[in-house]
Chains A and B, each alone.
Chain A
Amino acid sequence: MRLNTIIEQIMNGLQKGSVYALVALGYTMVYGIVKLINFAHGDFIMVGAYTTIFSIPLLASIGCPLWLSIIVAILICSLLGILTEKVAYKPLRQSSRITSLITAIAISLLLQNLFAKLFTSSARMFTQVFIFDVPTIIIGTVKLHKVSILTCAISIVVMVCLQLFVKKTKMGKAMRAVSENPDAAKLMGISINRVVSFTFAIGAGLAGLAAIIFCSYSMSFDPYVGGSLGIKAFVAAVLGGIGSIPGAMLGGFLIGLSESMTQTFLSSEWVDIIVFSILIFILLFKPSGLMGKMTSEKV
């Protein structure tokens, strides 16, 4: 197998991985604060993708630069996140985990089928590649797509910003406080509602960003792409240690790379087997994920 093919596949893997990483970041942030597996998270990407595809002609018609569609997608997704939280998750904060899980699943189904009804379930082509219309760098005989590098860079930058935000800012500290001990946080004057809404906004916004990147490498999508994307991203978050921001990034890239490598060296049928085997293997030796913290019940 030639080196440039391998490198190309690695780049592919990293690109896919950055999508997973961004979504995983959203999962992990939300989970860290409200201990909820937001099954609908993957579908936020789908919403982001559709938003982009519809906002581009809109922006064009009013004479705005087309890269604004990225901002629009992120905004719409954030709003969707906040809305979902207010309507469906907030009332269930005191209920059992499984109730929230089922509600999240219901929202996922709702989004998928709503969009299928509104926009038909046939695939859409994302033809506006112009945003990423950057030439490829050629080093020797190896083609490096600038897109891949760009998306990886974006993911890493986002992660670093997020990590800094959580560690250094007031809101970030509030988020960590709510994550550790909501009751104590309340007593310290932190508004749980604001923190949770904010978290969801960021998480969903990240999904919106991921949508753009997703569109950049996958030319078409339909209302159901959120499903498997969501699962893979969730696996990535757990792999890296759910609640850990660098962990989500690590997990995302790991999954993306494994998928790409398996596809190249084995076949696409083995992808799921390998990816989940890696997950199981790691969880058995490090039950709280690669970078997660082990929390045990005090006896």
Chain B
Amino acid sequence: MKTPNRSMVSFGNVQKRYLLNFVSCFVLLVLVQVFMGNIHGTNYLVILTINCCISIILAVSLNLTTGCLGEMVLGHAAFMAIGAYASAILLKAVSMPALLGFFLGLILSFLMAGLIGFLVGIPALRLKGDYLAIITLGFGMIIKSLLEVLNFTGGAAGIDGIPRNTTVVLSVLMVMVVVAFLFTFMRSRFGRSILAIRENEIAAAATGVPVTQVKVLTFALSAALAGIAGALYAQYMRSISPATFHLDYSIEILVIVVLGGLGSFTGSILAATILVILPEFLRVFNDYRMIIYSVALIIIMLKKPGGILGRFEFSLSKLLIFIKTQFFRRKVKDHE
């Protein structure tokens, strides 16, 4: 029996695997377009799906810093806010066709959020553990308050009248892009360095990893990706205000990441989806919803502290291989 391949980058039949993944993504996109492409933007299902996509992007981007790098940061929502505002301001200032506007807004959001993330990261990541958490919390609060105070961001009222460029297909596409990016990024020397820092920072430095640099860049990347979620949000909701992006939202995202499993992107996707969809089913218990949620959270933390999926990552090819071997085993049994 072959020993499991636990290395980050594996050789062998990669072409086949990549093709498989690519095709399945493409098929999924086509399906989404066919079934949901023509539904009106305010349809309930559309709202749900786009919310899901935004949550997923927020969760996986936070997981990069919290799960993979191992640094707990609070205040992720602030970077989403920067992305949202960047897109909003651009699209209100310059009018352009939907698709162009969407992608330009996205790029600007990515860059702005990444830039601010970089600037925040440089001082913040000098601190460790709980001090890092509190300083990122502080930066998050400052950013939100600045958005409330400054004039060109519309103050507490925010900005409205943003064109609705986000569609379901574009949202799902962006989720795929972000997740694919994170998978390929982590399964490379960059991922190894990041995990090395998480495992043992001092050893990582002693092995030549430029620790502070990697930390700041990873943090900035997390922020930039959150910016993408912000761009999606702004161009869907049509109006944004600072009130959305406060500490509670950051904590919500953190909870999703921890529930899904720190370090598992698959877990984040699952947890984000569940936590967007489940409340809809529990609408019956609307009053008790939050109470049930908090009790469930406590129970899960007590019983499965590593999160639902721990560090597990899903692989489509591995799933197919698994199914194949099960099927093959049964066939052999029948013949005997």
Query: Footprint of B on A, CB under 8 Å?
Result: 31, 37, 88, 91-92, 95-99, 101-103, 105-107, 109-110, 112-114, 117, 227, 231, 234-235, 238, 242, 269-270, 272-273, 276-277, 279-280, 283-284, 287-289, 297, 299
Contact = CB atoms under 8 A, between A and B. Distances in A.
19 contacts: A31-B130, A37-B133, A88-B302, A92-B302, A97-B72, A97-B129, A103-B297, A107-B294, A110-B294, A113-B290, A113-B291, A117-B288, A231-B247, A235-B134, A269-B149, A272-B144, A273-B145, A276-B141, A276-B142
Given A238-B131, A280-B135, A288-B131, A273 B149 contact: yes
A238 B134 contact: yes
A95 B138 contact: no
Contact of B66 (A98, A110, A238): A98
Per CB-CB distance, the 3 closest pairs between chain A and chain B, nearest first, are A110-B294, A276-B138, A106-B297
A117 B134 contact: no
B278 to A, nearest CB: 15
Contact of A284 (B123, B149, B290): B123
Contacts of A113: 290-291, 294
Contacts, number: 111
Which DSSP category, helix, strand, loop or mixed, fits chain B's interface? helix
Contact of B138 (A31, A97, A101, A279): A279
A107 B302 CA distance: 12
A224 to B, nearest CB: 10
Interface stretch (B23-31, B42-50, B185-193, B250-258): B250-258
Interface string B230-274: 000000000000000001100100110010001000000000000
Given A109-B297, A280-B139, 4 more contacts: A110-B295, A269-B145, A269-B149, A288-B131
Contacts of B156: 269
Q: In the complex, which of the residues B126, B133, B248, B288 has the most CB atoms of chain A within 10 Å of its own CB atom?
A: B133
A287 B305 contact: no
A96 B305 contact: yes
A297 B205 CA distance: 14
Nearest to A36: B130
Contacts of A106: 294-295, 297-298, 301
A90 to B, nearest CB: 10
B126 A272 contact: no
B98 interface: no
Nearest to B255: A102
Contact of B146 (A37, A97, A273): A273
Contacts of A279: 134-135, 138
